[in-house]
Amino acid sequence: MAKTKIVTIIGARPQFIKAAVVSRALKQFETTAEEKIIHTGQHFDANMSDIFFDELDIPKPHFHLGVGGGTHGQNTGRMMEKIEAVLMEEKPSMVLVYGDTDSTLAGAIAAVKLHIPVAHVEAGLRSFNKKMPEEINRILTDHSADILFTPTATATTHALAEGIAKEKIQQVGDVMLDAALYYASVSSNTIIEKLSLEPRQFILTTLHRAENVDDKSRLQQILNGLAQSNMTVILPMHPRTKKRLLEFGLTLPVNIRIIEPVGYLEMIKLEEQAALIATDSGGVQKEAYFHQTPCVTMRDETEWVELVECGANILTGADENKIVNAIQQSLTVSKDIFSRPLYGKGDAGLLIAKAIV
């Protein structure tokens, strides 16, 4: 009997981590199902892409489209054209897309127009800010999808509120919890020693959202806020942020230490050992919670509202004073708030694999 063929479409750092979880779960069904991976090329630097395939044991992509570096329209259009060609050749039973990038949208649209069922992992998230490219990508992908794997009750509610049929929605929990649990148990590395850091004496920061780093005044306010923390700030620098800092000619405060982007295993060690995390990332907000580290989110809104509601996360926007105050406040939060099972049981990958196979 022919195997069920699933084509997974990924292209950006957070998608490699999410896909690692589902690919590992799919291997349990390899007698009946096979997965082929398309890498769109959206993230292409070795430390934004290859390192994740190597250390997370993700199967090497079968197709590498080499699309990246253009505008949203150029990237999405070029990806759709190339994905369509692969799908016409491969004729999969299902296409699997993750999250909210241009690769996600391109994959979903290319598949749905060929009448290939689409499954969306991390469906139903909303920031209600349509200026974010990610928000448009999520909405259109959810409405193209045949199965929406939602991570939280809030995400399920958003999808239902937009009229998506409840039969299409499966709330499975968050694959990033699976990743955090699995890789924390198998990882050992010496990043803390390598950087000569004292555990719980530093802030870990990531910064890459377009609304922050493409806006000189917001970026400056964020740097000012971090400067006033009077703590060492470790900042693995996203290539987009590096480019903007140079373009804007901004100088970094002395307490901010820039390092190259790190692999996932080193990242989770930094997250576990930080006194707090200050970020504008989506995934890092949740990882802070998984590793019981307080979080300050330097955005005007978040998709992960349950973290703010339980007090594990404080939203500051790009407001210098709010950042300073939130850092002070976060350093005193009690560990008890990290005990709620907000993101499922850590078996989302297996539930997704079972459902699609």
Active centre residues (catalytic): 208
- Which of 284, 298, 307, 326 binds ligand UDP (CB under 6 A)? It is 284
Q: What are phi and psi of 69, to 5 degrees?
A: 85, -5
Distance in Å, CB of 15 to ligand UDP, minimum: 8
Sign of the torsion angle spanned by Cα atoms 58, 63, 68, 71: negative
Instruction: Tell whether residue 164 is a contact of ligand UDP (CB under 6 A).
Output: no
Q: Which stretch binds ligand UDP (CB under 6 A): 30-38, 56-64, 280-288, 299-307?
A: 280-288
Q: Is 60 exposed, middle or buried (0-12, 13-18, 19+ CB in 10 A)?
A: exposed
DSSP reduced 3-state for 186:
helix
Contact flag: residue 261 with ligand UDP (CB under 6 A): yes
Binders in 171-230 for ligand UDP, by CB under 6 A = 206, 208
**CA-wise closest residue to 222 among 328, 326, 323, 295:** 323
Closer residue to ligand UDP (CB): 92 or 151: 151
Residue 11 binds ligand UDP (CB under 6 A): no
Residues 216, 247 contacting (CB under 8 angstroms): no
Given the rule CB under 6 A, which of 56-64, 110-118, 149-157, 259-267 is the region that contacts ligand UDP? Answer: 259-267
Which residue has tokens 């992960």? 304
User: Any contact of residue 264 with ligand UDP (CB under 6 A)?
Assistant: yes
For residue 30, the minimal CB distance to ligand UDP (Å) is 26
Closest CB to ligand UDP among residues 263, 317: 263
Q: Are 33 and 4 in contact (CB under 8 A)?
A: yes
Q: Determine, following the binding rule CB under 6 A, whether residue 14 of this chain makes contact with ligand UDP.
A: yes
Candidates 7, 10, 11, 13: give the one binding ligand UDP (CB under 6 A): 13
Task: Examine residue 348 and tell whether it contacts ligand UDP (CB under 6 A).
Answer: no
Residue 66: how many other CB atoms lie within 10 Å: 12
Write down the least CB distance from residue 208 to ligand UDP, Å: 6
Q: What's the closest the beta carbon of residue 267 comes to ligand UDP, in angstroms?
A: 4
Query: Is residue 267 part of the contact set for ligand UDP (CB under 6 A)?
Result: yes
Q: Is 281 in the site for ligand UDP (CB under 6 A)?
A: yes
Nearer to ligand UDP among residue 14 and residue 92 (C-beta): 14
Residues near ligand UDP (CB under 6 A), total:
16
Q: Is 287 in the site for ligand UDP (CB under 6 A)?
A: yes
Cα distance between residue 200 and residue 293, in whole Å: 9
Burial class (CB in 10 A: 0-12, 13-18, 19+), 188: exposed
Q: Beta partners for 235?
A: 258
> CB of residue 206 vs ligand UDP: minimum separation in angstroms?
5
* 228: its two tokens: 């006033």
User: Which range binds ligand UDP by CB under 6 A, 79-87, 120-128, 210-218, 258-266?
Assistant: 258-266
Contacting residues for 35 by C-beta, under 8 A, at least 6 apart: 6, 7, 8, 23, 26, 59, 96
- Paired with 149 in beta bridges are 121, 170
- Residue 196: count of CB within 10 angstroms of its CB: 7
Least gap, CB of 170 to ligand UDP (angstroms)? 22
| Residue 236 found at the interface with ligand UDP (CB under 6 A) | yes
Applying CB under 6 A, does 283 fall inside the site for ligand UDP?
yes
Q: Which is nearer to ligand UDP, 235 or 357 (CB)?
A: 235
Beta carbon of residue 303, minimum distance to ligand UDP (angstroms, whole number): 10
CA separation, residue 282 to residues 109, 134, 137, 309, 331 (Å): 23, 11, 15, 16, 21
β-partners of residue 244 are none
Residues binding ligand UDP (CB under 6 A): 13-14, 17, 206, 208, 236, 261-264, 267, 281-284, 287
